[in-house]
Amino acid sequence: MLGSSDLLAALERLKAQGLTTNAQLSRLLGLPSSRIAEIFAGRRQVTIDEMKLMVEHFGLEGASPAPSAETLEPILDALLPLAPPGKLTDQSRRALAEALAYGLELLGAPSASPASPDALKVAARAAAVRFRETATAS
């Protein structure tokens, strides 16, 4: 997955080539143009959902190595008890998958060193919250 700075650099290149503008990004993300300018000026962070939308829209996928078992285990430990008993429905499987993906996104791109225990706990809790939201919204 691309990091935030990588994404902004790629978007700057697209802007330099005339392939996108702040106004186009504003429409894509549903944000005022002033917010887009703040992102590029470094005064506002790009949210994970905004980053995902831009990456998908502009085809900016970066190399994404498979997550390690050490990364997946705490997130799955937080999610599996929330799954309904018995056979999972398509809706439950989709909600679990989305929550797991969200937890992994929070950890960012894997680096040479594993994520800290605190980062794993935060990602696991956030994934559990995302699962509850997704499962109840459907």
pLDDT over threshold 80, residue 136: no
Instruction: Check residue 3 and give its pLDDT.
Output: 58
pLDDT over threshold 70, residue 113: no
Average pLDDT over the chain, rounded to whole?
77
Instruction: Give residue-wise pLDDT tens across range 77-109.
Output: 888 888 888 887 888 888 888 888 888 877 765
pLDDT over threshold 80, residue 65: no
Dist. CA 63–CA 76, nearest whole Å: 23
Dist. CA 114–CA 110, nearest whole Å: 7
Instruction: Check residue 8 and give its pLDDT.
Output: 77
pLDDT over threshold 50, residue 1: no
Locate the domains of the chain by residue range: 4-58, 69-137
Dist. CA 131–CA 93, nearest whole Å: 10
Q: What is the CA radius of gyration of the chain?
A: 17
pLDDT over threshold 60, residue 133: yes
pLDDT over threshold 80, residue 37: yes
- Pick among 1.10.260, 1.10.3470, 1.10.10, 2.60.40: CATH of 4-58: 1.10.260
Instruction: Check residue 88 and give its pLDDT.
Output: 78
